[in-house]
Structure 1
Amino acid sequence: MMHFDSLPDWLKWQESHHPLAIDLGLERAAQIYRVLNPDAIKPLTITVAGTNGKGSCVAFLEAIYTAAGYTVGSYTSPHILKYNERIKINGEPVSDALICAAFDRIEAARQDTSLSYFEFGTLAALDIFWRSNVDIQLLEVGMGGRLDAVNIIDTDAALVSSIHIDHVDWLGATRDIIAIEKAGVFRAHSPAIIGDPHPPETLRQCAIDKNALPYCIGTDFSYHRHASGWDWSAGDQQLINLPDPALKGEHQYRNASSVLMAIQQLNTHIPVTEAAIQSGLKNVYLAGRFQKINLDNGVPLLLDVGHNPEAVSTLANYLRAAFPNRRVHAIFSMMKDKDIAGVIKIMASAVHFWHFVPLTTPRAISTAAVQEIFSQGQITNVSFDYTEFAGAFAAAKNQCQKNDVLLVFGSFFLVSDCLIELEGK
């Protein structure tokens, strides 16, 4: 049986313990969970799936339920700066000691069963939440839904934020097929909130086939923006003059609306006041999603982890709306399994100059490969002169003139490098 005294040592070992970095399936995690928690003690649970918007939905739920006075556990991935960000109670990352103690219990329980890095983290979060007696746990799906480790928990309400093409090697190449994977989190007789405004028919059909209770944005619930805020309605339920979400972008109204539908559906179990909803909307925070930082030279820095065409389309629209007629200098990198050409094509008209930074993770696109993509797109306003983030950041910042915007986007790893750079300074 393995034991480590520090969280970094645990994580380093977990990264090489399992033969596959991504190994979808429920059997291993479910088996260990039954040993850890034989009485199946489970807090009220909301599971959030989707291609984009999962993290935002969890952040909204966390902020609102915390404002309502409940003890809230939230499990998300990936992290940006510290692993502890993945497991939070009332918005605060739990301690190294708490995670290490959970890993010790998991290690004792697993015997000869091999677990992936993600399965270790998921089991640790579930173990910590029930032992901490949280009132509600919010579980973000890592990939897909049907075979994702968080799906070992029978959720009390499921929310699917959006369906787009991503992770095709694991989830399929069409929205219809991907929707079936996402719908794996739906449960019989439980609310199935669908936040995609144009969902594949397979998503709603899966909910019906599972005897879940589907609620779709635009039909079963909706929102309306106006000069003094926005309104939300679902049948005879209405919330008027809500404050604009602290998370920026039109898509955040859809995410917030879906969250309000989930909250409304669970209101008999865990009541929430309108005051708590307003407070949560105003105070919600999520690093790396249209995160704006004012640099010391007066240039606004915008960070976004968006890494697929749908996410960067939203980013491009936000740049046009929030920074009209301003030159954008982009520091950019992506993972090699993403639609890099599609992302670059969408952002080409929005970016004045590109700075590509190679990342150290094996999954990242190489400089030579991304050079070829830029060349095929006939984009020449790009520099490949950097071996690390600090050099690209210094060059891009120096290149910015008054009224320009500095953008860092394309990867969680890249946003992490940026925040570490800023923290160091």
Structure 2
Amino acid sequence: MLNTLAEWLHHLETLHPVGIDMGLERVSLVAKRMGLLERPIAKQVITVAGTNGKGSTLAMIDALARAHGLRTGTYTSPHLLRYNERVTLDGREASDQRLVEGFKQVESARLQEPTVSLTYFEAGTLCALWCLAQASLDIAILEVGLGGRLDAVNIIDADVAIVTTIALDHANFLGTDLEQIGREKAGIFRPLKPAVLGSQALPKSVLESAISIAAPSYALGSAFSHSAGDMVGRPWCWHGLTQQGDTLSLDGLPDPGLPIDNAATALQALALAGVALQVDKVSKALRTVTLSGRMQWVGQWCLDVGHNPHAAEYLARRLPVPPKGGRQWALIGMLNDKDADGVIRALLPKVSDWVCVTLEGERGRSAAELAERITSLGGRVYDCANSPAAGAAKLAKQLAPEDRVLATGSFFTVAELLATSLPQAAPQAR
């Protein structure tokens, strides 16, 4: 009998022959057995799909809704340090006990005849949906995985569906045709339910998909907008539409330290979910919202999970210049199915010295390969290491007080560093 969360997570890894197996037939059958498709899991459900920006958009929807007194639940993946991060209730991670009970429910339903094989992600999604459904939520916010239309989360019908951005990523599964990727991501839209388009650079297929099923579309730059531009740290204004189609404006909003496009998208989604937005509560939420691993500062270190060129370009725009005389280091570790050249090119103008680290596993990429790519693109590699922690240890001997370190390239890179004590340069005596 499995009793601990660790035991259940190990068990999940043995349930299916492959890690990613997109499709809804198996997961829908188990969800039906669990009763998850009989009634809504919350009074309002918001789903968030896209290449980049899902996590920050979800985090801001959650913070904004809670600031307005609503009971919220979220589902995200992957996690950084604890599996419990994937499911939150009113801003708090789900307990081991709650998750274990959820996995027991999944397993009981899975083993009914005919037995169903589930991937780790599918079983985790069903567990999360069960946890949320038990919690009497006002709003459930669900992050859709890489599959979009065929992602396990898409068994749930959303009241409001969001597509944040579309860019090249997971090419092994999604291909390189942005229009087709857009259609797949837009598979979360539902007939007659609002579809929020959170980027002005989405492929035409996203809007076309909404139109084809008569889902009313709300696009950034037309139905809703913001005044932030490229300004960093300054107050901004949001303009959008209520559920009834009335115009709404919120002025003097604080910079949340996350993409303003995503903040504006979060506000529009909540307005369409029927939330009466109040500027003081919105401001409070934006001032306090946090998201681990997204431009997260730990002393001299900035940790960001960005792993494709689109994310790296945003990071490069927002990364501050080190104090006078300081160097901008980058510690980078990436998986082998990511566009390393594109990420490196985006960061090169900001980085003076690189430390490359190996990520293990079948999708891992060696530090030597990263170093070769950086050198060929004109960058300066200081050293290589066999893990993110080993790379941080090498930097410990080199950091000056004025230096800054960007650690990026993968969730795995950031997760390992967050679990260690990052070296900081001692202030120089005067």
Q: TM over 0.5, yes or no?
A: yes
CA gap 1:323/1:174 in 2 versus in 1, 3 angstroms: farther
Paired residue type of 1:162 = T
The CA deviation at 1:247 is: 2.5
> What's the secondary structure of 1:310's corresponding residue?
helix
Match of 1:241 in 2: 251
The whole-number CA distance in structure 2 between the counterparts of 1:339 and 1:228 is 33
Deviations 1:249-276 (A, max 9, x none): xxx1100111111111111xx4443332
Q: Deviations over 1:202-238 (max 9, x none)?
A: 1100000011111110111110138961111126523
Amino acid at match of 2:20: I
1:138 alignment partner, SS class: strand
- Structure 1 residue runs without a partner (length 5+): 295-299
Deviation, structure 1 residue 388 = 2.9
**1:297 match:** none
Partner of 2:428: none
Query: Within the alignment, does 1:281 sit opposite 2:290 as a pair?
Result: no
Matched, 1:397 2:402: no
Q: CA deviation at 1:280?
A: 1.4
Equivalent in the alignment of 1:291: 296
Q: SS state of the match for residue 146, structure 1?
A: helix
Q: What per-residue deviation string (whole Å, max 9, x for no partner) do you get for residues 164-204 of structure 1?
A: 11112222212111100110000011110001112111110
- Cα separation, 1, equivalents of 2:132 and 2:79: 18
Q: How does 1:203-282 map to 2 (within 5 A)?
A: 203-225=206-228, 229-234=235-240, 237-248=247-258, 252-267=259-274, 270-282=275-287
Following superposition, the deviation at residue 246 of structure 1 comes to 2.5
Whether contact under 8 Å (1:191, 1:265) holds in the other structure is yes
From 185, 195, 198, give the equivalent of 1:195: 198
For structure 2, the 5+ residue unaligned runs are 425-430
Q: How far does residue 368 in structure 1 lie from its aligned partner after superposition?
A: 4.0
Tell me, in whole angstroms, the C-alpha distance in 2 between the residues paired with 1:160 and 1:39: 26
Matched position secondary structure for 2:227: strand
Cα offset for 1:279? Answer: 1.7
Q: How far did residue 375 of structure 1 move?
A: 4.4
Cα drift, residue 320 of structure 1: 4.9
1-structure distance, mates of 2:308, 2:191: 32
Contact persistence 2:74–2:141 (CA under 8 A): yes
In structure 1, distance between residues paired with 2:322 and 2:238: 24
The alignment partner of 1:348 has SS state of helix
- Report the equivalent of 2:416: 417
Equivalent position SS for 2:346: helix
RMSD, matched Cα: 2.1
1:13-412 alignment runs, 5 A limit: 13-37=11-35, 39-43=38-42, 44-111=44-111, 112-225=115-228, 229-234=235-240, 237-248=247-258, 252-267=259-274, 270-294=275-299, 300-320=300-320, 326-384=326-384, 386-412=385-411
Q: Distance in 2 between matches of 1:307 and 1:423?
A: 21
Aligned residues: 412
Give the conservation status (yes or no) of the 8 Å contact 1:397–1:406: no
Contact kept, 8 Å, 1:50 with 1:144, in 2: the verdict is: no
Deviates further, 349-358 or 117-126: 349-358
Distance apart, 1:283 and its partner CA: 1.1
Quick one: distance in 2 between partners of 1:12 and 1:324? 49
Distance 1:413 1:13 in 2: 21
SS state of the match for residue 329, structure 2? strand
Q: Name the aligned partner's letter for residue 230 of structure 1.
A: W
Contact 1:189 1:211 in 2 (8 A): yes
Cα shift at 1:423 = 8.4
**Distance (whole Å) between structure 2 residues aligned to residue 323 and residue 148 of structure 1:** 44
Distance 1:324 1:134, change over 3 A: farther
Mean Cα deviation higher: 108-117 or 275-284? 275-284
Q: Distance in 2 between matches of 1:130 and 1:195?
A: 27
Deviations 1:30-77 (A, max 9, x none): 111111116334211000001000000000011011111111110001
Deviation per residue, 1:272-325 (Å, 9 max, x gap): 43332222111111000011122xxxxx21000000000001111112568798
